[in-house]
Amino acid sequence: MAEYWWSARRAALALQPQVPLPAMAPPGFGLLRPLIHKGWEMVLVALELSRPDLDLQAYLAHYRVQLQAALERWQLEPESLQRALEAGRHQALDHDRAAWLALHQPYPGVAKRLAQLAAEGSDWIVLTTKGRAFACELLTAHGLEPRAVYGHEQGSKPEVLLRLVQERPDVPLWFVEDRRATLEQVRATLGLESVRCLLVSWGYLGPEDRQGLPRGIALLEPDRFAAPLASWP
């Protein structure tokens, strides 16, 4: 969360230098974070949080509608917002890589469990809406070596999963994700019926995301995540 706000604020100020944005993330950013899907949305949300008349409840109730209205209000496009975000991160890596990396804190036990997968003979791949270069920096910093990393440049997560299924149709594919809407999209995608979908109980979940999960999506708790794969739901 610290890095998300730091980078979103930096990009927002690059686009609109006059907006008043605090150095520390305001409470509204934490409330909206479970709804944010792509990086450019973080920048737009940061700009919106500078508005004294922002209706936070309207955002929480109708996030997509409010997001579209915000694009029109600020006269910005997703592409320019994404470019500003990635430019800021590249500058941070060029000028103070250690400080930027220090803004990230992995969830307890996650890096250790991922490192164990290779010893168990299980390949693992990263699919992220973050830029691939930034994801690779983070993984390297924690000594993690996935079989491959796919960033937003390689397409949406369902698109990448489809390619993986087509490339290795005989290999079981488990998709571990902290965004319920993404898992529901995978479940609705033709060709991905064989993918096992797991919603982790940590991460940026909304208050009701754990409840009433549809068929084909199972909740993965930290203790099961740490256990052998044979015991996963």
CA distances from 48 to 6, 34, 54, 205, 213 (A): 15, 16, 7, 21, 31
Q: What is the pLDDT along the chain (233 residues), one digit of tens a residue?
A: 899 999 999 999 999 999 999 999 999 999 999 899 999 999 999 999 999 999 999 999 999 999 999 999 999 999 999 999 999 999 999 999 999 999 999 999 999 999 999 888 899 999 999 999 999 999 999 999 999 999 999 999 999 999 999 999 999 999 999 999 999 999 999 999 999 999 999 988 888 899 999 999 999 999 999 999 999 99
How confident is the model at residue 204, as a pLDDT? Answer: 85
Joined tokens for residue 182: 């993404």
What pLDDT, on the 0 to 100 scale, is given for residue 119?
84
Please provide the DSSP assignment of 13-61 as one string.
HHH-TTS---SSPPHHHHHHGGG--SHHHHHHHHHHHT-TT--HHHHHH
CA–CA separation, 178 vs 202, rounded Å?
7
Domain spanning 110-231, CATH architecture: 3-Layer(aba) Sandwich (3.40)
Instruction: Report residue 193 as tokens.
Output: 């019926």
The pair phi, psi for residue 197, each rounded to 5°, is -105, 125
CATH 3.40.50.1000 boundaries in the chain = 110-231
Question: Is the CB of residue 233 less than 8 Å from the CB of residue 198?
Answer: yes
What pLDDT is attached to residue 233?
93
Residues 232/198, Cβ–Cβ less than 8 Å:
yes
**pLDDT of res. 5:** 97
Q: How far apart are CA 181 and CA 163, in angstroms?
A: 20
Would you state the pLDDT for residue 3?
Answer: 95
